[in-house]
Chains A and B, each alone.
Chain A
Amino acid sequence: MRTHIDASEQPIRVLEDADRLPEHQSQLALVWRRLKRDRLALLGAVIVALLVLVAIFADVLAPYDPTVPFDDGLTLQGMPVPSTLPESSQFILGSDSSGRDLLSRIIFGARVSLTVGVLANGLAVTIGLVIGSIGGYFRGWVGALVMRFTDMMMAFPSLLLAIALVAVLKPSLWVIVLVIGLVYWTWIARVVYGEVLSLREREFVTAAVCAGASAGRVLFRHILPHLIPTAIVWGTLGIATNVMLEASLSYLGIGVQPPTPSWGGMIQQGQYYYRSAPWLILFPGLAIMLTVLSFNLLGDGLRDALDPYQRR
């Protein structure tokens, strides 16, 4: 599913000579300056930082243990309890269908989402870089084979592949990370492929080859550095997609195991109570949206900042 806006296959182009810049500024400073001016990106960065803090300090921030059901977390007939504000502060956002505190679960849910998002994306970006580079650099059947393989994996309906893989491997946090990474790398590979294709024609590559550098050395020392901006942008925007993917898998019931709270799983459990306890659907969804939004903003900002041909 589409989770970021400028998700085109356009590569990030990097300035070719340092001559283009005023002498006293390095490329990094330029990027930083651009980023600082982009208010939306800053907003994204701030929210991301907050989310990371929430995830790290969940134990301290959450009022209760997210996995513990409370006796008064359920009405006598066993229904979820709505928010008790402003009378008392027992369940600030209400309780879920098992009698656990919703707010605590949402706070701890950040851990799952961020862990899966970051790690799965890291895996996807790594795989994508490797495969895309190989496919773009090597002419002949090696490159073609690799790209055919990428095409094939891309044609696979990703959600179905994820469901099948999780079913085979039995759901757990690490399996979800692995599966999402395995499913998501193809887009990155495609982009990297395009970039490497053009990069390999450049003089510095020819020079390195003439100097006797092996393919691996050329790829690693010469081409890879130019791929860093792409990696950064996808590394950020991809987290948004992966958080969404994790939420979707949890919504379909095959995400992380209970009682670990996951926002998508909470929506899945709560949807049956849409009439009597709509907050069970509302809050976890807002959490997902906020997380995805912030990574999108940051990622878009990074992309704009790293693109030397932008208008501002």
Chain B
Amino acid sequence: MSRYLLRRLVMMLPVVFGISLITFLLAYLLPADPARMYAGPNASVETVNSIRHQLGLDRPFHEQYLRYVWRAFHGDFGYSYHFKMPVWDAILSRVPYTLELTFAGILVELLVGIPVGSLSALRQYSWLDRLSTLFALLAVSAPPFWLGLLALYFLAFKFPIFPLGGAGSFHHLILPALCAGAGGAAWYARMMRSSTLDVVHTDYVRTARAKGLRERVVVYRHILRNAIMPIVTMTGMDIPWFLGGVVLIETVFAWPGVGKLAVDAIHNVDIPLIMGTVVFAAIVVVVSSVITDLTYAMIDPRIRYQ
């Protein structure tokens, strides 16, 4: 088991390296001068050149990249050009917010999706099924940032039930989490529906019914327990999905997370911060995919022995 884990992690190392190299290259190719961005508009050209030299930006590409990697190995992820603070600190101060939003969103997806999906399956073709299908389709088709804006308008401005963006209390978390989780909830609902339907028609369940077990026992202990399993293992893959979409939610709700930090970093040509956020996101994705694989491996022993 641990050998499998180790193997997977080792295989992921080149992935992280590759990402860091591509990111560094892209950052290098950005058509903007980081030294000028650092110095601001009023600084004279000589000052900008001096700053460029101080930041090591006049060195050749490979040298800059290697220096970056070397420092990163020693825990030094550089100094944000824009925030003038260590990248590590800048990211770390935001990570809890993104994690909070991610987990809240996934929780919404599961708490809404699974019950709705299983109910739909158990009452297949009923009005509940059709209604939830419709709802699911709409939720998945609506742009999350648009949903966010609408939510802010109706639920925070017109009827001030929720705060108008920002973070701070649980109250602040609700709307962003709902918007972030809406599309995914629909997805989970449909998946749960399929999964439950698969189980409902098995001999196993038919036997349970034939045995005369109460319907409720059949439903909970036999149908749902089995139907949920494949769904829950997919949660591990959800995290990378989320990191992609969370940027938009953070932007709309002014949620001080890493996603917004990354977008701003790109606009500011804040190379150390760009590197830090992208590599961080990549590591999170990699780790969560390893965890997912682990979960699969634990469930399906065949995989372990490949």
Q: Which residues of A line the B interface, CB within 8 A? A: 1-8, 40, 148-149, 151-152, 154-161, 163-165, 167-168, 170, 240, 244, 247-248, 251-252, 264, 267, 271, 274-275, 278, 281-282, 285, 288-290, 292-293, 296-297, 311
Knowing A155-B289, A267-B145, A288-B146, say if A160 contacts B281 (CB, 8 Å).
yes
Q: Which residues of B line the A interface, CB within 8 A? A: 11-12, 14-16, 18-19, 22-23, 26-27, 29-31, 133, 136-138, 140-146, 149-150, 152-153, 157, 183-184, 186-187, 190-191, 194, 197, 201, 240-241, 243-245, 247-248, 251, 262-263, 266-267, 274, 277-278, 281-282, 285-286, 289
Q: Could you tell me if A5 and B263 are in contact, using CB atoms closer than 8 angstroms?
A: no
Main secondary structure of the interface of A (DSSP, over half): helix
Knowing A2-B183, A160-B278, A278-B153, say if A167 contacts B140 (CB, 8 Å).
no
Q: Could you tell me if A5 and B149 are in contact, using CB atoms closer than 8 angstroms?
A: no
Report the bound CA distance from A148 to B244 in whole Å. 20
17 contacts between A and B (CB under 8 A): A2-B187, A5-B137, A6-B190, A148-B11, A152-B15, A160-B277, A164-B23, A167-B266, A168-B26, A240-B141, A247-B143, A251-B143, A251-B248, A274-B152, A274-B157, A292-B141, A296-B140
Q: Which residues does chain B contribute within 8 Å of A164, judged by CB atoms?
A: 23, 26-27, 30, 266, 274
Report the bound CA distance from A146 to B140 in whole Å. 31
Knowing A160-B263, A289-B138, say if A6 contacts B31 (CB, 8 Å).
no
Q: Which residues does chain B contribute within 8 Å of A275, judged by CB atoms?
A: 157
> Residue of B at shortest CB range from A294?
B141
> Residue of B at shortest CB range from A183?
B244
A290 to chain B minimum Cβ distance, whole angstroms, is 8
Q: Could you tell me if A155 and B187 are in contact, using CB atoms closer than 8 angstroms?
A: no
Q: Could you tell me if A3 and B183 are in contact, using CB atoms closer than 8 angstroms?
A: yes
B165 to chain A minimum Cβ distance, whole angstroms, is 12
Q: Which residues does chain B contribute within 8 Å of A281, judged by CB atoms?
A: 146, 149-150, 153
Q: Could you tell me if B29 and A285 are in contact, using CB atoms closer than 8 angstroms?
A: no
Knowing A275-B157, A281-B150, say if A5 contacts B143 (CB, 8 Å).
no
Q: Which residues does chain A contribute within 8 Å of B262, judged by CB atoms?
A: 157, 160
> Residue of B at shortest CB range from A263?
B143
Known A157-B281, A167-B267; further 16 A-B contacts with Cβ < 8 A? A1-B183, A1-B245, A1-B248, A40-B133, A148-B15, A151-B15, A154-B240, A154-B285, A155-B19, A168-B26, A252-B251, A267-B145, A288-B142, A289-B146, A292-B140, A311-B201
Q: Could you tell me if B142 and A148 are in contact, using CB atoms closer than 8 angstroms?
A: no
